[in-house]
Copies of this chain bind each other. A is one copy, B any other.
Amino acid sequence: MADIARLSGVSKPTVSRVLNGSPLVAEETREKVLAVAREHDYRINRTAQRLRQTRSDSIGVVLDLGSYRSGRIADPFVFDLLAGVSDALAANNLDLMLTPPRRRESAGFYHDQIAARMVDGFIFLGQGVRDPVLRELAGHDLPFVVWGAVDPDEPYCAVGSDNLLGGRLAAAHFARMGRRNWLFVGDTAQSEVRLRFEGLENGAADSPEPVSLERLRCSEMSYTSTYREVAGYLRELPAPDAVFAYSDTAAMAIVAAFRQAGLEAPRDYALVGYNNLPQSAHFTPTLTTIEQQTQVAGAMLVDKLLEAIGGGRPGSALLPTRLILRET
């Protein structure tokens, strides 16, 4: 910048003003400086700018990528979310630092990142099982928002869809189909999944006919492990006539495992998935599923985070959820 100033015959502050679009620069001066800067292909050093302005203009996004490796992911759904967040950050001129979760999760790490001015705040995509960490972060008053289960009792801002309603919708579907032996497949240690189970449970309790409700924990939440665990379940226990899965990918694994046991949906069992993947509409059988509305999620998360960084206390938000009725 000193060079550009010298070559333009002005001072550094003037160059800075021109490059930052300050209105208090004479038109003639502006043009001169811009011409010189362009000629020498000059760019402001963002690191210096950040140091001076004492903010990083970048946001940490925490996504459990590790669990995706070798097909260990539950569902590609989370990447939809990531795409939305990426767009919204770009629209606000914020950089996205992708942060892999720690092996031993602790609030300290996230605190350090902010203390070291690496990022101005965090967006957690999926609270997973790190609820205690999030509560601690909220206690330190660090700016962050979460995609996941929305619980008014939590001390932090969360955006998510209505998982309890999702469970109720699945229950209503099973009841309509006259099913009595329900199975829930999913890891209820995760808050979002737990809410879906509770919704299903509520629906079972409200059912006019008595209903039995079993639960199959799939701690790993991948296609392969879901397939294995469901196949094992069918070998040991009586087959249910209705299954609610934590994702459409899991629902596809369930179809494969049931088929292995000679059972087909919807003839032998009803099946409800989650997320409404494009594939689900063309799968054989076509999958009944719960749709989460994620188009606005990214922008909402970013808006709320910016509010938090500005010192505000953004409220949580619940997004619409609906049943997509298909063959299963």
Contacts and interface: CB of A to CB of B under 8 A. Distances in A.
B278 A224 contact: yes
A70 interface: yes
Q: What 10 A-B pairs are tightest by C-beta distance, nearest first?
A: A71-B278, A256-B282, A65-B83, A43-B115, A223-B278, A43-B116, A96-B98, A46-B116, A76-B76, A69-B83
Q: How large is the interface on A (under 10, 10 to 19, 20 to 34, 35 or more residues)?
A: 35 or more
A132 to B, nearest CB: 20
Contacts of A253: 279, 282
A79 B80 contact: no
A97 interface: yes
A86 interface: yes
Contacts of A80: 68-71
Given A61-B98, A80-B70, A224-B278, A41 B115 contact: yes
A289 to B, nearest CB: 13
A257 B284 CA distance: 11
Given A47-B117, A61-B98, A259-B284, 5 more contacts: A46-B116, A65-B82, A98-B98, A223-B282, A256-B283
A205 B136 CA distance: 65
Nearest to A278: B71
Contacts of A252: 279, 282-283
Nearest to A55: B47
Contacts of A96: 97-99
A48 B51 contact: yes
A246 interface: no
Contacts of A68: 76, 79-80, 83
Interface in A189-211: none
Interface of A: 41, 43-48, 50-51, 56, 58, 61, 65-66, 68-71, 73, 76, 79-80, 82-84, 86-87, 90, 95-100, 112, 115-118, 222-224, 227, 249, 252-253, 256-257, 259, 277-279, 282-284, 295
16 contacts: A45-B117, A47-B50, A47-B118, A61-B98, A65-B82, A70-B80, A70-B295, A71-B277, A73-B76, A95-B118, A97-B97, A224-B278, A227-B282, A249-B279, A252-B283, A253-B282
Contacts of A115: 41, 43
A97 B95 contact: yes
Give the one of A51, A56, A222, A283 with max B CB within 10 A.
A51
A93 B16 CA distance: 32
Give the one of A79, A87, A112 with max B CB within 10 A.
A79
B41 A51 contact: no
Nearest to A60: B95
Contacts of A278: 71, 222-224
Give the one of A47, A224, A282 with max B CB within 10 A.
A47
Contacts of A76: 68, 73, 76, 79
Contacts of A83: 65-66, 68-69
A86 B66 CA distance: 8
Contacts of A50: 47
